[in-house]
Amino acid sequence: MSEEQLEELKPEVLITFGGMIVSKKIKQFLRKQQPNHHWHIDALKSIDTFHCLSEHINEDPIDFLPKLAVLPLIEGTYQQKWLLEKEKRAAKHQEYIDQASFSDLKVFEQVLGSIPDNLQLQLANSSIIRYTQLFDVNKTLAIFCNRGTSGIDGSTSTAIGAAIVKKNQTLFVTGDLSFFYDSNALWNAYIPSDFRIIIINNSGGGIFRFIPGPKSTNALDYFETPHQLTAEHLCKMHQLTYSFASNLSELKERISDFYADSEQPKVLEVFTDKEVNEKVLKEYFNFLK
């Protein structure tokens, strides 16, 4: 958004609770377009994330927030401005996705749209969670993301542990580096037969092509961890049913019965081209403007 658009969306009052906001974009927006009042609600901690805290309300959010519901309504256009911007971006999002080349972005459209109701969705981080947040995800899903050392440690272990204790079917969506790094998680006898893993294999650390820094130097060679590995032999060793897809038609075919009952857990590995992924995602963000 332009500075003028952001200024129009500047809030008068900002109410926060919980911990620090992770999103760099939100932090930049609210630090530059500072609200007139910032209230942080927490029984113990006062967090001044946006450098404009005006009131620390020492109360549990569950006790405080209902009090706002009884305040008199005031006519305004602030919500409508945000909703209009969201509606415009959503239309452009779908327009771009419909014509996008086979890439990580297109894969996530297919994968997220294929998930049956009421599953537990476990997400690895870095690219996986960033791509997922670009889509409206089925609201019946219970969604979790695990943050480990350097972004890759323990995601598979967490997903399998959660699948063991949860009655609902669990789907784990992960990148190749995170999956291979934590492959020992597959070495146990308790993985439910309805457990599912989808691996987005772009041959090593695609996130470093998008975040600022690595690509502008020779550091990309050291960050990306390029490889030609697949999960096929790991799946065979650990007695998981394995399939793969390298294009859109294969992905649609493989995923059509992916969640059906089976005697073994299933793994679907989707191969994408890192160069295409980079081009498609950068064009996507430019298209949304």
- 40-49, 203-212, 240-249: the lowest-pLDDT one: 203-212
Give the DSSP letter of residue 141.
S
Average pLDDT over residues 22-30: 89
pLDDT score, position 140: 98
Instruction: Place 224 in a pLDDT band, splitting at 50, 70 and 90.
Output: low
Task: Give percent above pLDDT 90 in the chain.
Answer: 76
Average pLDDT over residues 128-152: 85
Query: Residue 105: is its pLDDT beyond 90?
Result: yes
> Average pLDDT over the chain, rounded to whole?
91
Environment class of 5 (CB within 10 Å of its CB; exposed 0-12, middle 13-18, buried 19+): exposed
* CA atoms within 13 Å, Cβ hemisphere of 279: 9
CB 61 within 8 A of CB 42: yes
Query: Residue 87: is its pLDDT beyond 60?
Result: yes
Instruction: Map out the domains of the chain as residue ranges.
Output: 3-74, 89-288
pLDDT score, position 209: 56
* CA atoms within 13 Å, Cβ hemisphere of 99: 6
Query: Residue 53: is its pLDDT beyond 80?
Result: yes
Look at the domain 89-288 and name its fold. Answer: Rossmann fold (3.40.50)
Q: Go through the chain and tell me how many residues it has.
A: 289
Per residue in 243-289, pLDDT tens?
999 999 999 999 999 999 999 999 999 999 998 999 999 999 999 98
- 97-106, 108-117, 195-204: the lowest-pLDDT one: 195-204
In angstroms, how far is the first alpha carbon of the chain from the final one? 7
- 50-54, 167-171, 205-209, 238-242: the lowest-pLDDT one: 205-209
pTM of the model: 0.86
Environment class of 101 (CB within 10 Å of its CB; exposed 0-12, middle 13-18, buried 19+): middle
In whole angstroms, how far apart are CA 73 and each of 69, 70, 131? 9, 9, 37
What percent helix, strand, coil does the chain show, rounded to 5? Answer: 45, 15, 40
Right CATH for 3-74 from 3.30.2420.10, 3.40.50.300, 3.40.50.1220, 3.40.50.10860: 3.40.50.1220
pLDDT score, position 204: 72
**Alpha helices per DSSP H over the chain:** 3-8, 24-32, 61-68, 78-99, 104-114, 127-132, 155-165, 176-181, 220-223, 232-237, 248-255, 274-288
Dihedral-angle region of residue 203 (phi above 0 means left; psi in -120 to 50 means alpha; beta otherwise): left
Rounded to the nearest 5°, which phi and psi values hold at 74? Answer: -125, 130
Number of neighbours of residue 64 by Cβ within 10 angstroms: 17
